[in-house]
Structure 1
Amino acid sequence: MSAAVRGMRPEDAAVAAALEATVPDSWSEESIRQTLAQGHCCVAEAEGRIAGLCLCGLVLDEASVYAVTVDASFRRQGIARAMLSWMFSHLASQGAKRVYLEVRSQNVPARALYKALGFCEAGLRRGFYRNPADDAVLMTKEL
């Protein structure tokens, strides 16, 4: 499966929010729009529709990955990897030197992907997630 990754546009926000609503602790359309205004969001298109989204923030030289969501019918096809690779290039071009993220401790596939992309585990935030309850593993990557 080949997905095209591009910067998110304002007209993508409603579809992105609908996709986000399918996962725990999802981002609202308003939150997506606010993050999009900062300019560090992308989507992946496959089969003529948005198959995934990645929301990030950047303060000085430190970036944070807020959300990486892939439509269930497109998972395990390299879409998250493609979006993150696109985002790392974008963030580096904007001056980012490192990236941080939190991931559910029980999300083994995501943790494996992040490690494969060069992230290292840097800490644990107990009780970070509520729906369902889970700890967050803090991970970091140098760009």
Structure 2
Amino acid sequence: MVNPIIRTATEADDTELAELDGRTWSPLHAVMPRPERPYPPFFGERNRPEHILVAEAGGRLAGYIRLVAPTPLACNAHVRQIQGLVVDDAFRGRGVARALLRAACEEARRQGAVRLTLRVLGHNAPARALYASEGFTEEGVLPGEFFLEGAYVDDVLMGRSLTPSHLTPSHLTP
């Protein structure tokens, strides 16, 4: 196990994050085509440093998690959504993803969220197990939502409460 330092990304992380994304691309979790070198900039109009928490270990970026509001609607402002969790292969199985998930929960709470959601590909059993172990429950499935490498793959919707259950409406309790 490593004890990564978790912090908000900065513009200076752009190249290292783009490289990490390129190195870790896999049909197990990616719906976009494999990126090619030179990798495009990581940050852009919809992907800002303030949306990204990075894990540092061994003097380099070990992974990141993207945490955003799922919509710009005021009626949805109580929810945050994880839209990407990546861990460098050298750090897999060493607690980095779990540390990032826990940090994302804390950051979502700090932002006033009471609920955290995500989408995960149905065939990504390791990620689904990790999310379940951190309190996420399956809330829906979009069967065959993606056609990846010759097969239809489900899109699994998962979520969890960020508040004690006695403070959460019953329909939001995991």
Change (3 A) 1:15 1:54: same
CA-CA distance at 1:113 after TM superposition: 0.8
CA-atom RMSD in angstroms: 2.1
- Structure 1 unmatched ranges of 5 or more: none
In the superposition, the TM-score normalised over structure 2's length comes to 0.74
What is the SS of the residue equivalent to 1:125?
strand
1:114 alignment partner in structure 2? 131
Match of 1:50 among 61, 74, 78: 61
2:171 alignment partner in structure 1? none
The residue correspondences of 1:77-88 to structure 2 (distance < 5 A) are 77-88=94-105
Which one is further off, 68-77 or 16-25?
A: 16-25
**Corresponding position: 1:40 with 2:51:** yes
Aligned residue pair count: 143
* Aligned partners of 1:98 and 1:142 also within 8 Å: yes
* Aligned partners of 1:103 and 1:111 also within 8 Å: yes
* Aligned partners of 1:38 and 1:57 also within 8 Å: no
Aligned-partner Cα distance in 2 for 1:96–1:66 = 15
Change (3 A) 1:88 1:75: same
- Structure 2 unmatched ranges of 5 or more: 72-76, 163-174
2:25 alignment partner in structure 1? 23
1:140 alignment partner in structure 2? 159
In the superposition, the TM-score normalised over structure 1's length comes to 0.88
Task: Specify the structure having the higher radius of gyration (Cα).
Answer: 2
Same amino acid, percent of matched pairs: 33
String of CA shifts for 1:69-126, please: whole Å, max 9, x gaps.
0001100111011011111111111111111111111111111110111001001123
What is the SS of the residue equivalent to 1:34?
coil
What is the SS of the residue equivalent to 2:108?
helix
Change (3 A) 1:53 1:122: same
Which one is further off, 86-95 or 38-47?
A: 38-47
**Corresponding position: 1:10 with 2:11:** yes
**Corresponding position: 1:92 with 2:92:** no
